[in-house]
């Protein structure tokens, strides 16, 4: 699984960070940082939920 964020769509709502803090972090500058582009299988369910719950649908999962 590869995590891809469309930063033109992302509005730093931080929903993803709350669900999968191992992978997503919104920092004090209000920008989203991807901490781990290829999360291990144990994180896949969380990452999938983060993608689903993104209000801007800015997260795509490949593979």
15 binds another protein, rule: CB under 8 A: yes
Sole binder of another protein in the list 5, 20, 23, 26 (CB under 8 A) = 26
Question: How far apart (Å, rounded) are the C-alpha atoms in residues 24 and 50?
Answer: 9
17 binds another protein, rule: CB under 8 A: yes
# binding residues, another protein (CB under 8 A): 13
Q: How far is the CB of 1 from another protein (least distance, A)?
A: 15
Question: How far apart (Å, rounded) are the C-alpha atoms in residues 61 and 16?
Answer: 13
Question: How far apart (Å, rounded) are the C-alpha atoms in residues 46 and 22?
Answer: 10
63 binds another protein, rule: CB under 8 A: no
């Amino acid at each position: 699984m590869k995590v891809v964020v469309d930063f033109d769509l992302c509005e730093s709502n931080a929903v993803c960070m709350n669900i999968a803090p191992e992978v997503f972090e919104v920092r004090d500058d209000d920008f989203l940082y991807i901490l781990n582009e290829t999360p291990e299988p144990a994180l896949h369910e969380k990452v999938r939920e983060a993608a689903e719950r993104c209000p801007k649908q800015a997260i795509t999962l490949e593979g």
